[in-house]
Amino acid sequence: MSQPVFPFLTTLVFLPVGGAVAAMAAPRLVQPAHRRPVAILVGALAMTATLAVALAMAVEFRVGDSGYQFVSAHEWIPALGISWQLGVDGISLFLVLMAAVLFPLALLGARESERAPSYVAWLLLLEAACLGSFVALDLVLFFLFFEITLVPAYFVIAGWGTGRRAAAATKFFLYTFLGSAFLLVGIVAVAVIHDQQTGRFTFDLLALEHTRLGLSTQVLLFLAFTAAFAVKAPIFPFHTWSPDAYGSSPTGGAVALAAVMAKLGTYGVIRFDLTLFPRAVVDAAPVLLSLGVAGILYGAIVAAVQRDLKRILAYSSLAHIGFIVLGLFALSTEAVTGGVLQMVNHGLVTAALFLLVGWVWERRGTVDAGRLRGLQRSAPVLAGFFTLAMMASIGLPGLNSFVGEFLVLSGTFLTHRWWAVVATFGVVLAAVYLLWAFQRAFHHRPTPETSQTKDLRWGEIAVMVPLAGLIVFLGVYPKPVLDRITPSVEALVHQVDQATGRHQPAVANGGVAAVTAAGRRTPAAASTAGVPVVTAAALGPARAGGPLDLALPPFPEQRRLP
Amino acid sequence: MTHLAYLLPLLPLAGGTVLALLGRRLGEPLAGWLGTGTVLGSFVVACIEYAALLGRHGPGGRTVVQVLWSWIPVAGFQVHVGFLVDPLSMTMVLFVTGISALIHLYSIGYMHGDEDFSKFFVYLNLFVAAMLILVLGDNLLLTFVGWEGVGACSYWLISFWFDRDAAASAGKKAFIYNRVGDVGFLLAMFLVFEKTGSLDYRTIFAHLSNFGPAATTAVVLLLFLAAVGKSAQLPLFPWLADAMEGPTPVSALIHAATMVTSGVYLMCRMNPFLARAHDASLVIASIGVATAFIAGTIGATQQDIKKVLAYSTVSQLGYMFLAVGVHAYIAAIFLMVAHAFYKGLLFLGAGSVIHAMGDEQDLKRMGNLRRYLKLTTVTFGVAWLAISGIPPLSGFWAKGDVLDNAFAFNKGLWAVGLAAAVVTAYYLSRLMALAFFGEERWRKVFPTAQAVAAERAGQADPEVANLLHDGPAPAHHGEGPHGDPHEGPWVMALPLVVLAVLAFFGGALNLPWHPSWDPLGWLSPVFGSRLYAAHLSGTTKWALGVVDSAAALVGLGVAFPLWTRQWHRPQLEPTFLQRGWYIDAAIDTLASHGGQQVAAVAGGPVEQGVIDGAVMGAGRLAALVGGVVRRVQTGYVRQYAVGIVLGAVALLAWMAAQAWR
């Protein structure tokens, strides 16, 4: 327990807030002509500083520790049981990092015209709220951050969006606001029940997770919490705000909304539903798994008939969120880990795609796939990046999404076989709608208009390179990420198992050792089947445990230290 | 020595990466030479590895595993990136790198003048890297990486000339058909992991007893589904004919010699499972032999020289699956290697013809090319006799091996296979006759530069205009129609000669030259035993050899005179066969049109009417009840948002004040 005393998490939340204030204030000190650049500079600096803090925290993060780290716990409003309680574990670590990486790119990748001082300030506030939600361990604090995201998101869409932006923003606002109402009621109810049992009124998640709840209570509360999360994610069939909102958002806003803010929903499921209501989760799993599968198939099918690239991406997101939901409710270590990883992967890929589509919009004034024809001829670099991100989205092995999707599907196969089987067909559909859209927009002989389209500028390439790098890196070497996510997920799944008396299959935890220990292995039978006798004469420079292999310490059984 | 295995895919991968970043600056032909060089480097490494592996003896001595890094470690699920070097993967590596190097070299000539010259070599290099990962992967998941990687490269290369709608659509079609098969691959992996807790070949083979009969059959059939997609078997073969939209070297490398054989490789690799799944094996053999016959009949009626070869590839792959199904894996690999030689040669020869004719692919507009393309004619002729099964060329031995094993297993399978052999000799003799013999039809109807100009000016002779519209798209590499056809440069000629020699003498691969150098026999430890033709007596084998030769001669003897004398015989080209038994049309109607209708309903009435309608209806109802309908519609929500901000700020301020105290 020799973690530095530096308050990483509190800094992470307040840096962007300070940045927002500065982005509004600083431009007033200069001539009107310089206001925009100054605001952007201040915003970029604040976001970069936030990223630096997040990276420093990730470096200090203890691998193999399943509990919360960098915990910052302060009494706040004792009268109401509210505390300033922040902490990060393997599940939230990479969501924090992802948000810290994506916000600066969203800011820098957006169109010049979008980046008014107030826009920069709203984006910074949205970042603060997202980061706060990912690290809050107090339910009211979480609710506060969760709810505050609505405001900057609303103003970003309504102020700088395209098309029917006011209507889209309103629909988004009302829809998610309605969902949150259930969440608030649920939060208060949990606290009240806990108060009755222990005499202590608190919103501290660490205390509340020991509340004894009857099954029917759990189910009701689970529904209340999940209503909010399902709208935010969005989970089928609560998604209809998203195509309008993503489609009408400005580029940076779409990135922030689809790539980062949407993850608050799925994060809420794993952090609160699985922790507080394990029995309800196990009971309701078939329903939620079915919604996940329905989202995968339905999102893909509807995406196939869209013409607007942004709406295609919105429905594609619905399908990908379906995979995450599938993973979280399948409740095997592989599936849940895959789901968490997929939240990060989806964020990176979606951000890249929305940025690229935004740049197309900027050049052409349309993102109607049918009217773009032949973009690859005039903008090969843009097409190249789009191809990479598209292939990642389709789930090409070697790129990031494949790792997450495969873990989700194979982990789901262990616990809920037929849902996994149906969901696997989603991989065909993903190829259908994305390749079709790509063909319409990028292939064919270019139209005269298309052949005038300019390729990416160096600044835009600079925004794309980190995303492309991460997409490839996480596909080839996801081990550093998985090593940090897995212990927390293992502990969580263990906790659910203990609370419900269910057991995830032995193979999920033990792998080949588990099936061998079951005594089913008969080497004699194997060799009579004509199997070559093989020797693992590994002569490679780097066997497992070699230089590239970060040793993984044994996992502590308990989720967190007393 | 085996330290070098990682270099095999790394060299072309590095080549592809460098070319992607700097290719345009390197330009032509340097980019092509760099691409060729890296693959040649891999071939050299492969030879060194091969020699090293030959030097190892003892049981299991010829199996070496090189683990590079832990890829996906999650609790019980541990998969690493590691290469399995054994006789099977080494055989694949040798012929893949060898053929690839030759085809890279050929492409330098063929792609001359293309504006995306360097990009072509990016994809080609990446393809070779993916193919090597496929065959070297020491677990199913890594094989799947290569499997999908070659699929992606195939997609990029088929739609390389994406200006043409047909090429763009063909690339997409290939990818989607492959994806259908990939569902099988994924599900098989899930099942294998559930049963054994591993995806590592050695581990899962050691835990075969964990699989009951149903599970074994399921694994085999699911992987076979993947193979059917990748290797273009019934009913998922139509994509391969469309894939001919890609540049011809791509057809030679990917859609004949290497990628499409990966389904056969996968089945051979999983042979311990097949050994325990006899019903599934019979399914594989039946689909294989049916494909061999049906694709052959389709190939016998095509007009496009590349389509004939495409269906021929499908048919030959069918033979390979027949061999796999009767557990004659060495025969399958033998045919795979021999096929890579002669089919690669046929495609490169066809490329030569197309190149020389200014992008003409219609056999009916060729004829008597032997007068102008002497080298191409001779080398193409070797491949023709080889694939037809004329002794002593490679095809006779390889196909004979497959048929002998089928005969020993099931006479019915053998009979269909033999019929397909007659068809094989028939369609290639037809191709040979139409292209290289007979009258010079291209002189009559070949669209001249003037005709093109006249057509552009809108005053063309209607017949020529038809030709222009129906024929393949205009030249892509600057080889416009001109005088007499002529041979390509030496970079195109050399691969033809090398492959012709290999196609001629390839049968010798199956001879046990020396106890320490038995090119195909060394595979037997991988496959348990040298099953093939073991039960047959010497007399029977001789008799079967004679029958095979007779079948080849019948097909050849019927087709060659027939099509040399007369090029127009519609009664021999029924629409039913030309349209591929309507299998493509059936799939199109069912999946494509049906799917579009489902999607239209889902995207229209369901999404907008039912789901969003319910939400909006509920919203309106609530608004109506609350009497706020006017406010919502006039944008008063903005005021709510401001209200929330102010409220939140006030709350925060109050909280901060509380905290301060």
Tell me, what's the ipTM?
0.89
The CA distance from A214 to the nearest CA of chain B, in Å, is 31
In total, how many domains does chain A have? 1
The answer to whether A473 and A355 have CB atoms below 8 angstroms apart is: no
- The two structure tokens encoding residue B85: 């070097």
How confident is the model at residue B618, as a pLDDT? Answer: 66
Q: Which residues of A touch B85 (CB under 8 A)?
A: none
Give mean pLDDT, residues A301-312. 89
Lowest-pLDDT choice from B90-94, B259-263, B485-489, B639-643: B639-643
The CA distance from B444 to the nearest CA of chain A, in Å, is 31
Judged by DSSP in three states, B574 sits in coil
Q: A185 vs B598, which has greater pLDDT?
A: A185
Considering only CB atoms, B67 lies closest to which of A338, A443, A544, namely A544
Q: Which residues contact A311 (CB under 8 A, 6 or more apart)?
A: A243, A246, A247, A303
Give mean pLDDT, residues B477-488. 60
**Contact between A544 and B191 using a beta-carbon 8 Å cutoff:** no
**Contact between B69 and A425 using a beta-carbon 8 Å cutoff:** no
Residue B490 has pLDDT above 80, yes or no: yes
Q: Please give the biggest Cα pair distance in chain A.
A: 85
How confident is the model at residue B476, as a pLDDT? Answer: 41
Is residue A532 domain-resident?
no
The answer to whether B226 and B147 have CB atoms below 8 angstroms apart is: yes
Distance CA B575, CA A38 (A): 71
Is residue A348 domain-resident?
yes
Quick one: angle between helices A165-198 and A150-160, nearest 10?
180
Considering only CB atoms, B612 lies closest to which of A173, A240, A521, namely A240
Lowest-pLDDT choice from A8-22, A37-51, A442-456, B88-102: A442-456
How confident is the model at residue B654, as a pLDDT? Answer: 62
Is residue A555 domain-resident?
no
**Contact between A337 and B75 using a beta-carbon 8 Å cutoff:** yes
How confident is the model at residue A78, as a pLDDT? Answer: 82
What mean pLDDT value characterizes chain B?
Answer: 83
pLDDT band at B593 (very low <50, low <70, confident <90, very high): confident
Judged by DSSP in three states, B435 sits in helix
The CA distance from B656 to the nearest CA of chain A, in Å, is 8
Distance CA A335, CA A194 (A): 31
Size of interface A-B (CB pairs under 8 A): 306
Q: Which residues of B touch A510 (CB under 8 A)?
A: 76, 197
Percent of chain B whose pLDDT exceeds 70: 84
**Contact between A155 and B641 using a beta-carbon 8 Å cutoff:** yes
| Tokens 């580029």 found at | A251
pLDDT tens, residue by residue, A240-296: 888 888 888 888 889 999 999 999 999 999 999 999 999 999 999 999 999 999 999
**Contact between A514 and B526 using a beta-carbon 8 Å cutoff:** no
How confident is the model at residue A146, as a pLDDT? Answer: 92
pLDDT band at B622 (very low <50, low <70, confident <90, very high): low
Residue of A nearest to B4 (CA): A540
pLDDT tens, residue by residue, B350-366: 998 988 888 888 888 88
How confident is the model at residue B571, as a pLDDT? Answer: 79
Considering only CB atoms, B183 lies closest to which of A428, A541, A549, namely A428
CA dihedral A222, A224, A225, A226 (to 10 degrees): 80
Distance CA A330, CA A407 (A): 11
Question: Which stretch, A469-483, A522-536, B643-657, has highest mean pLDDT?
Answer: A469-483
Distance CA B24, CA A49 (A): 38
Q: Which residues of B touch A421 (CB under 8 A)?
A: 187
Distance CA B67, CA A59 (A): 27
Considering only CB atoms, B75 lies closest to which of A333, A537, A549, namely A333
Q: Which residues of A touch B203 (CB under 8 A)?
A: 512
How confident is the model at residue B651, as a pLDDT? Answer: 61
Give mean pLDDT, residues A393-417. 94
The CA distance from B144 to the nearest CA of chain A, in Å, is 8
pLDDT band at B608 (very low <50, low <70, confident <90, very high): confident
Residue of B nearest to A525 (CA): B209
How confident is the model at residue B461, as a pLDDT? Answer: 47
Is residue A549 domain-resident?
no
The CA distance from B236 to the nearest CA of chain A, in Å, is 14
Give mean pLDDT, residues B517-542. 73
3-state helix, strand, coil split of chain A in percent (to 5) is: 75, 5, 20
User: How crowded is residue B614: how many other Cβ atoms within 10 Å of its Cβ?
Assistant: 12
The CA distance from B644 to the nearest CA of chain A, in Å, is 8
Q: Which residues of A touch B78 (CB under 8 A)?
A: 511
How confident is the model at residue B344, as a pLDDT? Answer: 92
Q: Which residues of B touch A522 (CB under 8 A)?
A: 209
Percent of chain B whose pLDDT exceeds 90: 41
Q: A195 vs A516, which has greater pLDDT?
A: A195
pLDDT tens, residue by residue, A308-349: 899 999 999 999 999 999 999 999 999 999 999 999 999 999
Chain B interface disruption, residue of A331, A410, A438, A461, most B CBs within 10 A: A410
The whole domain housing A458 covers: 8-500
How confident is the model at residue A558, as a pLDDT? Answer: 35
Considering only CB atoms, B168 lies closest to which of A237, A432, A443, namely A443
Chain B interface disruption, residue of A122, A147, A443, most B CBs within 10 A: A443
The CA distance from B91 to the nearest CA of chain A, in Å, is 16
**CA end-to-end span of chain A:** 13
Is residue A541 domain-resident?
no
Q: Which residues of B touch A170 (CB under 8 A)?
A: 632, 635, 637
Q: Which residues of A touch B635 (CB under 8 A)?
A: 166, 170
What mean pLDDT value characterizes chain A?
Answer: 85
CA dihedral B591, B592, B598, B600 (to 10 degrees): 180
The answer to whether B210 and A544 have CB atoms below 8 angstroms apart is: no
pTM: 0.88
**Contact between B172 and A435 using a beta-carbon 8 Å cutoff:** yes
How confident is the model at residue B567, as a pLDDT? Answer: 77
Is residue A561 domain-resident?
no
- The two structure tokens encoding residue B119: 């990009």
How confident is the model at residue B63, as a pLDDT? Answer: 83
Residue of B nearest to A555 (CA): B75
pLDDT band at A77 (very low <50, low <70, confident <90, very high): confident
Judged by DSSP in three states, A178 sits in helix
How confident is the model at residue B594, as a pLDDT? Answer: 75
How confident is the model at residue B647, as a pLDDT? Answer: 65
**Contact between A513 and B595 using a beta-carbon 8 Å cutoff:** no
Bridge pairing between strands B64-74 and B77-85: antiparallel
How confident is the model at residue A517, as a pLDDT? Answer: 62
Chain A interface disruption, residue of B72, B114, B132, B608, most A CBs within 10 A: B72
Q: Which residues of A touch B190 (CB under 8 A)?
A: 409-410, 413, 420, 424
How confident is the model at residue B462, as a pLDDT? Answer: 46
pLDDT band at A542 (very low <50, low <70, confident <90, very high): very low
Alpha helices (runs of H) in A233-368, residue ranges in sequence order: 241-248, 251-254, 263-268, 274-276, 278-304, 309-330, 333-364
Chain A interface disruption, residue of B77, B136, B630, B661, most A CBs within 10 A: B77
How confident is the model at residue B509, as a pLDDT? Answer: 81
Torsional class of A81: left (φ above 0), alpha (ψ -120 to 50), beta (otherwise): left
Residue A263 is which amino acid? Answer: K
The CA distance from A507 to the nearest CA of chain B, in Å, is 6
Give mean pLDDT, residues B283-296. 94
Q: B392 vs A545, which has greater pLDDT?
A: B392
Residue B557 is which amino acid? Answer: G
The CA distance from A419 to the nearest CA of chain B, in Å, is 12
Give mean pLDDT, residues B478-495. 72
Q: Which residues of B touch A413 (CB under 8 A)?
A: 187, 190-191, 193-194
**Contact between B648 and A537 using a beta-carbon 8 Å cutoff:** no
Q: Is the peptide bond before B235 cis (omega within 30 degrees of 0)?
A: yes
Percent of chain A whose pLDDT exceeds 70: 90
Q: Which residues contact A316 (CB under 8 A, 6 or more apart)?
A: A299, A300, A303, A393, A430, A433, A434
Alpha-carbon distances, residue B163 vs A360, B311, B468, B470 (angstroms): 19, 25, 17, 17
**CA end-to-end span of chain B:** 73
The CA distance from B574 to the nearest CA of chain A, in Å, is 33
Chain A interface disruption, residue of B70, B71, B90, B597, most A CBs within 10 A: B70
- Domain boundaries in chain B? 1-138, 164-276, 284-444+485-578, 447-480, 587-660
The CA distance from B564 to the nearest CA of chain A, in Å, is 39
